[in-house]
Amino acid sequence: MKAGFVNIFGKPNAGKSTLLNALVGEKLAIVSPKVQTTRHRIKGILTTDAYQIILSDTPGIIPEARYKLHERMMGAVKGALEDADVAVLLLDVQDNWEENDLLFGSLRLKVPSVLVLNKTDRVPPAKLEEAIAFFRDKSYAKKIVSLSALTQTGIPDLLAAVTDLLPEGEPFFAEDELTDLPEKFFVAELVREKIFQYLQDEIPYEATVLVQEFKHKSTLIKIGAVIVVQRESQKAIILGEGGRMIKKIGSEARAEIEKFLQSKVFLELFVKVRPKWRENDLLLREYGY
């Protein structure tokens, strides 16, 4: 069995959403609120007897920044990709190859990646061959797959390439846990969004939010979430003077969560210091594996 996190990255319009839909289909596609700032935005989970692929995408690239990404955005993208087990680097084969090469190369990824040439339905075979030749020797293109996300040709090739690079391991999520996962994840994302809004610099990127309690009561939903940081100093900043910062994050996040869940919510936030946490390990533990 192979299992792991797979993150899809590419410029706007490369076809990320279309590819995610092609991969997970309507059934498991999770509709995300407009959160651009998160490490893993889980979009779907593909489970078979042979593998579990947990698909997410990266924070959006500011379109006007093009490939000269704002440093911090680039940090977030790189962070998200390196938290994954496999990165899928997607480009529209009709787009500028050099520009995409610069973008992908500048990530200097340490995780294995698959280069995906999308929209093959739009170019003649000779052009596609030329593109494959252009990317063949690039360090981030260990494997190259060409496909059309729109017409859904070449999807099995991508799954084979990704599965080949996935680590051996048991599934992270049981099939029957999938139903309330989206809600839990989005609640965590909404808390994270507030952390991004109010705290600067490295804190948002080094903090993760785990929803540990999610209980439907008669008049409200009781949610307990823990914000995990790496250092005591970060904990102090998140708490704020006299606990004012965490109160602000909590009350604003609660308002958003209530809108999202369409229910009254009681939200309890805790902060925990865990040096060098790995998000995947925490997720594993949270879901009881």
List residues binding ligand GDP (CB under 6 A). 10, 12-18, 118-119, 121-122, 148-150
Determine, following the binding rule CB under 5 A, whether residue 32 of this chain makes contact with Mg ion. no
Smallest distance from ligand GDP to CB 279, Å: 23
State the binding partner of 122 from ligand GDP, Mg ion, none, CB within 5 to 8 A by kind.
Answer: ligand GDP
Q: What is the DSSP string of the chain?
A: -EEEEEEEEE-TTSSHHHHHHHHHHHHHPPPPPS--S-S-EEEEEEE-SSEEEEEEEPPPPPGGGTTS--HHHHHHHHHHHHHSSEEEEEEETTS-HHHHHHHHHHT--SS-EEEEEE-GGGS-HHHHHHHHHHHTT-TT-SEEEE-BTTTTBSHHHHHHHHHHHSPB---SS-GGGTTTHHHHHHHHHHHHHHHHHH--TTHHHH-EEEEEEEEE-SSSEEEEEEEEESSHHHHHHHH-GGGHHHHHHHHHHHHHHHHHHTS-EEEEEEEEE-TT--HHHHHHHHTT-
The item of Mg ion, ligand GDP, none sharing an interface with residue 80, based on CB under 5 to 8 Å by kind, is none
Q: How far is the CB of 17 from Mg ion (least distance, A)?
A: 3
Residue 94 binds: one of Mg ion, ligand GDP, none (C-beta under 5 to 8 A by kind): none
Q: How far is the CB of 29 from Mg ion (least distance, A)?
A: 12
Q: In angstroms, give the least distance from the CB of 17 to ligand GDP.
A: 3
**In the complex, least distance from residue 127 CB atom to ligand GDP, rounded to whole angstroms:** 14
Q: Looking at 13, 17, 94, 106, which residue binds Mg ion (CB under 5 A)?
A: 17
Region near Mg ion per CB under 5 A, out of 13-21, 27-35, 96-104, 147-155: 13-21
Nearer to ligand GDP, 5 or 9 (CB): 9
Kindly indicate which of the ranges 9-17, 65-73, 135-143, 153-161 contains the residues binding Mg ion, using the contact rule CB under 5 A.
9-17
